[in-house]
Amino acid sequence: MTTATTTDAEDRQAHRVDLHVGLKLRQRRRGLNMSQHELARALGLTFQQVQKYERGANRISASKLYEAAGALDCQVSDFFAGLPDPRGEEPDAQAAPDPFLVMSAITHGAAVAIHFAQMTALDRSLLAGLARRFVDGNGDLPTAALSAGMSSAEMAEEACAPVARSEIQNQTQLRRHYARAL
């Protein structure tokens, strides 16, 4: 019986600093309405390499970071803004990056954040509960809905009003409904 072994590259999870720099790179590029192809061309890379840098899957060298700062018209230090002082404790490699930075860097993240901020407290609570349900399957009753005195049946009616309850047979159909609504 053979057992599968993994290489160091397969075991390696992106370091928090690599994730942060990659997210800052993406944030700046998108802020300038520059495509990955355009940045890759400016850096003499493939767009796939830029994608790997932005995900933190590959570390960006000092020289490429310097070139990226020039191509993106910013300071090299801008890519490190928001990280803890390196003279202190070593940042935890497993610590999650800033969720606001991640949200602004992911596809549709900024638009979702803008629309989320414009929603009523009840709608934000319903959407947050739905998001938790999609991620971990344990979404709870939204607190704003509970504090508004809504029963679970009223919340379901509120959330699913455009769709007849009989049409929502499973979680996949519910996801499709909300994807179309957003």
pLDDT digits (tens, 9 = 90+) for 167-177: 444 555 556 66
Select the more confidently predicted residue: 52 or 141. Answer: 52
pLDDT the model gives residue 164 = 45
Tokens of 176: 């499709």
- What's the alpha-carbon Rg for the chain, to the nearest Å? 21
pLDDT digits (tens, 9 = 90+) for 8-24: 444 457 788 888 899 89
Are 44 and 16 in contact by the 8 Å Cβ rule? The answer is no
Place of tokens 């049946």: 153
pLDDT digits (tens, 9 = 90+) for 95-109: 556 676 667 666 677
pLDDT the model gives residue 142 = 54
The HSE-up count of residue 4 (CA atoms within 13 Å, CB side) is 3
Select the more confidently predicted residue: 159 or 37. Answer: 37
- CATH T-level topology, domain 12-84: 434 Repressor (Amino-terminal Domain) (1.10.260)
46-52 CB contacts, 8 Å cutoff, 24+ apart: 50/25
State the Cα–Cα distance between residues 135 and 164, nearest whole angstrom.
Answer: 24
Select the more confidently predicted residue: 15 or 58. Answer: 58
Tokens of 106: 């992911």
* Domain residue limits, the chain: 12-84, 119-181
